[in-house]
């Protein structure tokens, strides 16, 4: 009986991870599409993002339901509880990242209706940094890689720096030429959405550390030496 129960528990744990990975891949595609649309002002590509949003929302509900079912069964070890708690938190961050990708799409559609202007020169490198953070945070989740999680945490300040430089540049541009306030505002909003995506990737990296190490490193409570210790395979159900 014990073996049969453990086999069922292992299957449930595998399903939890599968749901989360599938959602992560969908969100990553949505963000990639949103960034590509923004940089090229591609209205059609931006509009296609709305088709993926309902799927991501549905995946969030399925993930939550499965995790709650596991918690309701009880009898879980600490590592198993951390796994479920981290999955629930990451699930919420992924859903918000999907929403932000759609928000970027909305900014792109608005820009396509306005007279073209040159985007801020910092926008392309900022999107590159955000793409890298998304890829690494999801890689840390899929591959249980603390090194990738650490890289995400180390990149956050560079994204904030790009945001500040873009905001400063656009505020000056709007004061100098009021006729282009419309597109400048859209770039301001898109930059804010990108920065929020980066914030969510940081949350995911922190939750991966919590799951695998049992360390709460939120709010700057970072213990790099402990995070970098050799990692034993994370316990499954």
Is the per-residue pLDDT at 226 higher than 90?
no
Residue-wise pLDDT for 40-69, tens only, equals: 999 999 999 999 899 999 999 999 998 888
Which CATH entry fits the domain spanning 2-227: 3.50.50.60, 1.20.58.220, 1.10.1370.40, 3.90.230.10? 1.20.58.220
Higher pLDDT, 4 or 86: 86
Max alpha carbon distance in the chain (Å)?
75
- Give the global pTM: 0.88
Is the per-residue pLDDT at 139 higher than 70?
yes
Are the CB atoms for 133 and 156 separated by under 8 Å?
yes
Question: Could you count the other beta carbons within 10 Å of the beta carbon of residue 229?
Answer: 10
* Percentage of the chain exceeding pLDDT 90: 67
């Amino acid at each position: 009986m014990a073996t049969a129960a453990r086999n069922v528990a292992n299957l449930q744990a595998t399903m939890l991870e599968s749901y989360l990975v599938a959602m992560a891949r969908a969100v990553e595609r949505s963000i990639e599409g949103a960034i590509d649309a923004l940089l090229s002002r591609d209205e059609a590509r931006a509009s296609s993002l709305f088709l993926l949003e309902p799927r991501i929302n549905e995946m969030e509900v399925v993930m939550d339901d499965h995790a709650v079912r596991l918690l309701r069964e009880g009898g879980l070890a600490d590592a198993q509880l951390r796994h479920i708690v981290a999955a629930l938190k990451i699930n919420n961050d992924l859903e918000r990242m999907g929403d932000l990708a759609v928000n970027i799409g909305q900014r792109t559609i608005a820009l396509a209706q306005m007279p073209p202007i040159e985007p801020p020169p910092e926008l392309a490198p900022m999107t590159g940094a955000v793409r890298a953070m998304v890829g690494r945070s999801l890689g840390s989740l899929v591959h249980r890689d603390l090194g990738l999680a650490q890289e995400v945490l180390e990149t956050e300040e560079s994204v904030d720096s790009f945001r500040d430089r873009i905001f400063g540049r656009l505020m000056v541009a709007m004061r100098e030429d009021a006729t282009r306030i419309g597109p400048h505002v859209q770039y301001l909003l898109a930059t804010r959405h990108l920065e929020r995506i980066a914030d969510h990737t940081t949350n995911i990296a922190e939750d991966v550390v919590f799951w695998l190490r049992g360390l709460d490193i939120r709010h700057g409570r970072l213990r790099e030496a402990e995070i970098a210790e050799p990692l034993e395979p994370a316990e499954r159900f």
